Amino acid sequence: MKHFNPKDLTQRENYKLLSGSVLPRPIAFVTSQDKDGNLNAAPFSFFNVVSSQPPMIMISTGRTNGVRKDTAQNIIDTGEFVVHISELSMIEGINSTAAPIARTENELERTDFKTIPSQVVNVPSIEGASITFECKLNRVIELGNDEVGNDLILGEVVQYHIADEVYIEPHKIDVKALHPVGRLAGNDYVRLGEEFVLERPTE
C-alpha cells in the first residue's frame, strides 16, 4: 500500500491519481461564445449532475498560470453555455476540439460538426447530438489560488433536447441507444459495458 500526502505532490501528480481513480467520468462537450460571438467548443471530464430541483450540472475547468480556459471565461462573460452528452458517434470529433488553439479560433472548424440555434440561450448547439442541455450560469466557485486552480461552474439547465432514439416514456433515457463514452486516464476512454441490477435497500 502506497501513502501520499497531497500537499507533497505537484498539481500534475495529484491530477494523475485523481483522474486515474475516479472513473469512468462522463464527458461534457461544451459550446460557449465570447461577447463578440466567437464560438468555442471543448470537452471536459470533470463533469456531473449536482441537482434535480432546480436541474443543475457542474463542470470544472483548470487554469494555467492563473489564466482561465476560454470556456470558463466565455461562460462568466455571457452567463450561457450548452452541454452535449458525449456519445460514441461523436467522440472522434469531440477529441479533435481539445487541441490548444488561439482564443478567437473556432474548434468546430476542425470537425464535421454543424451548429443549430438553441431555443433559450444564444449559444449554438451541435446538430445531431442525442442529448443537449441549454444552460444558464448559476455561479462560479474559484478553487485553488491565482496561479494554479480550477473554476467550478454550476449551471442551471433551462432546456432539454432529447433525441427520439434515446427517449423512453415517461422521461427516461435508453442508455444502450445513447452509446455514452466515458473518460479514463491519459488517452484512454470507455464505452458502455456490462450492466447489472442491484436493488436498493428499503429498510
Residue 66: pLDDT band with limits 50, 70, 90: confident
Dist CA 153 CA 187 (whole Å): 24
Residue 140: pLDDT band with limits 50, 70, 90: very high
* Residue 129 · residue 77 · CB < 8 Å: no
9-31 pLDDT per residue, tens: 998 899 899 999 999 999 999 99
77-95 pLDDT per residue, tens: 999 999 999 999 999 999 9
Does the CA dihedral 41-47-49-50 come out positive or negative? negative
Residue 52: pLDDT band with limits 50, 70, 90: very high
* Cα–Cα nearest to 45, from 178, 148, 189, 164: 189
Torsion angle in degrees (nearest 10) through CA of 87, 88, 93, 96? 100
Residues forming beta bridges with residue 116, ordered by sequence position: 125
Per-residue pLDDT at 78: 97
Per-residue pLDDT at 5: 96
* Residue 6 · residue 14 · CB < 8 Å: yes
Chain centroid to CA 6: 25
To the nearest whole number, what is the mean pLDDT of the chain?
93
